[in-house]
Amino acid sequence: MPYRVLVADSLPGDVLEAWQNETLEVMNRAGISAEELKQEIQNADALVVRSRTKVTADLLQAASRLKVIGRAGAGVDNIDLSAATRSGIIVMNTPGGNTIAATEHTIGLMLAALRNIPQAHLSMKEHQWDRKRFIGRELFEKTIGIIGLGKIGREVARRLSAFQVNLLGYDPFLTPELADRLGVKLVSLDELFQQADIITLHTPKMPETLNLVNKDRLAQCKDGVVIVNCARGGLVNEQDLLEALNAGKVGAAAFDVFENEPPQNWELVDHPRVIATPHLGASTREAQEKVARQILEQIAYFFETGVPKNAVNFMAVDEKLLPVLQPYFELAYRLGQAGAQIGSSNGHARLIAVSVRFYGDVTKLPVDPITSHLLMGVFRKSSGNGQPTEFINAVNAMPLARERGVEIEISRKDHPLTSHTHLIACDFHFGNEMVHLSGTVYAKGIFRLVEFDKYNVDANLNGSMIIIENEDVPGVIGKTGLILADHRINIAHVSSGRLKESGTAVNVFNVEGEITSAVLGEIQNIPQVKQVWYATTEALG
């Protein structure tokens, strides 16, 4: 049965039709209202949007089947990422799909603002011939400040260099070497505002960039500065810009995006030195076809392989690494299940911290997604976690842990802890108690518990385990075996670890059969037994 993909915004119909296949059932609902969307999303496995549709927490509460949200474009500020992540929904975008379209629109607006092209065009339509009124300025030898040198910012820089301008750039993540290759001089934000004749914005919308261009920043600028925004509404404080235009501080502005779309206050758009377009940066036939194909391809690939390309709320894994990572996902998931049950079996306090250490060959792999699978195992086996197990997956397990105040420590170790060439060691802290487990992958489908607390063991991480700590004296294994036999419980494997200095031992019984509290109570009543734990682990699925 194909996965149902609900397309809420306008995308090329021929592209959508081409993706109707055995994997995807594409439902084109372009322009759907918020109320209708809330109804139809209940039966959707994937949602595709552009910038029009607002994906809110309230909407996602109705999306019981939804697994992925695809943004046909780069910006995801119309999607509540926190709510999607809490719901275990992958959010992916299509970076680069509309890069050229947005770049060319930026250059077009910049030239139009400098040369008064829209105003002159309207004058001609009114049959007026007023050359003096529309005297403009050249780009040649101007200093242009580019805020944000991601994909679009870099392409803007490459094209502007042909105009023989001086390029300044601000981007805290760009290396000086790459800036040099682009012909951009990296400066501080203050220097850029003070020195630029034209400022163009190419940053995402996030708390750090809201109102980036404001009254104080504009006061730093040269008189007559030109402001161009084809990135995101909200980067510029529109009221502050309007005041600077009226005061003559800002010579012109060119905007494709606004705080509210469409604008609720048209005063800025109506200003005679402002040119504006209705969020057309990505609106070319070529760009729309490209992002439509790209997002549907990514969604199909996700459903076929489980690998989310261009995910913005989860670490995407290179598909080539997936076969190598999959056994460690499985091992971590089983360790998390065991740790949660052992920690809660004797009435310990809630989980407050998890420390995960990677040893040997596994340190060469991405460890965050492995840790996410471990935490998924923890939450799926924790009693009273407050959520249905299907709610918890590798997308939301780590954010959910942090939301609940669980401290997470992840580290890589260069040297093997034991003779095993790859090992995952975990410490689960429950109040003042700690559960220590280590596991490894022996071979395909064979996962072993090799450390329990301070004991070295060699037990199967599969199915039911009864773990006993006892005095290191003869007869404990035999007495346990008799109790299990009386209850028709079969022993599949036994592993023992001993500590001579303390005179104690641990025995891990892999068992088959129904384990009740009465069975565990009988074992606990063996005089030499100090403590008994029970845990079940199951395959990742």
Contact between 413 and 364 (Cβ < 8 Å): no
Amino acid at 533: W
Q: State phi, psi for 219 to the nearest 5 degrees.
A: -65, -25
Q: State phi, psi for 411 to the nearest 5 degrees.
A: -145, 150
Amino acid at 415: H
Give the residue-averaged pLDDT of 373-390. 68
Q: What strand order describes the sheet that includes 504-512?
A: 490-499, 504-512, 463-471, 529-537
- Pick the residue with more confidence: 350 or 76? 76
Contact between 225 and 251 (Cβ < 8 Å): yes
The model's pLDDT over 3-23, given as tens digits with 9 standing for 90+, comes to 999 999 999 999 999 998 888
Contact between 297 and 269 (Cβ < 8 Å): no
* pLDDT above 70 (res 102): yes
Confidence category of residue 389, pLDDT binned at 50, 70, 90: very low
The model's pLDDT over 164-193, given as tens digits with 9 standing for 90+, comes to 999 999 998 788 888 999 999 999 999 999
% the chain with pLDDT above 90 = 74
Q: Output b/e per residue, 275-297; b: 16+ Cβ within 10 A.
A: bbbebebbbbeebbebbbbbbbe
The model's pLDDT over 399-442, given as tens digits with 9 standing for 90+, comes to 778 777 789 999 998 765 556 778 999 999 987 889 999 999 98
Least confident of 91-100, 189-198, 240-249: 91-100
Confidence category of residue 348, pLDDT binned at 50, 70, 90: low
* pLDDT above 50 (res 386): no
Model pLDDT, residue 415: 65
**Two structure tokens written together for 452:** 């329990």
Residue ranges and CATH numbers for the domains of the chain are: 3-96+286-305 (3.40.50.720), 99-276 (3.40.50.720), 322-537 (3.30.1330.90)
- Pick the residue with more confidence: 205 or 161? 161
User: What are the helix and strand counts (H, E) for the chain?
Assistant: 18, 22
Confidence category of residue 97, pLDDT binned at 50, 70, 90: confident
Model pLDDT, residue 173: 75
Model pLDDT, residue 204: 84
Residue 298 per-residue DSSP state:
H
**Two structure tokens written together for 134:** 């529309």
DSSP per residue, 37-53 = HHHHGGG-SEEEE-SSS
Strand partners, 507: 468, 496
Model pLDDT, residue 260: 92
Give the residue-averaged pLDDT of 42-52. 94
Give the residue-averaged pLDDT of 495-500. 94
Give the residue-averaged pLDDT of 526-541. 92
How many CB atoms lie under 10 A from the CB of residue 349? 12
Model pLDDT, residue 384: 44
Task: List residues with catalytic annotation.
Answer: 232, 261, 279
Model pLDDT, residue 349: 62
Contact between 522 and 497 (Cβ < 8 Å): no
Largest interatomic CA distance in the chain: 108
Token look-up 């029970």 returns: 534
Give the residue-averaged pLDDT of 489-512. 95
Model pLDDT, residue 388: 43
Residue 478 per-residue DSSP state:
H
DSSP per residue, 325-377 = HHHHHHHHHHHHHHHHHHHHTTT---EEEEEEEEEEGGGGS--HHHHHHHHHH
Q: State the burial class of residue 110 (Cβ atoms within 10 Å of its Cβ: 0-12, 13-18, 19+).
A: buried
Q: State phi, psi for 237 to the nearest 5 degrees.
A: -75, 110
Average pLDDT score over the chain = 91
Least confident of 173-177, 268-272, 341-345, 358-362: 173-177
Model pLDDT, residue 220: 97
Amino acid at 359: Y
The model's pLDDT over 264-309, given as tens digits with 9 standing for 90+, comes to 999 999 999 999 999 999 889 999 999 999 999 999 998 987 778 8
Give the residue-averaged pLDDT of 359-386. 82
Give the residue-averaged pLDDT of 152-173. 94
Confidence category of residue 390, pLDDT binned at 50, 70, 90: very low
285-305 vs 99-115: helix axis angle to the nearest 10? 150
Token look-up 């641990």 returns: 506
Question: Which sign does the torsion angle of CA 280, 285, 287, 289 carry?
Answer: positive
Model pLDDT, residue 418: 58
- Pick the residue with more confidence: 296 or 393? 296
Contact between 438 and 324 (Cβ < 8 Å): no
Amino acid at 341: Q
Give CA–CA dist 127/426, Å, rounded. Answer: 78
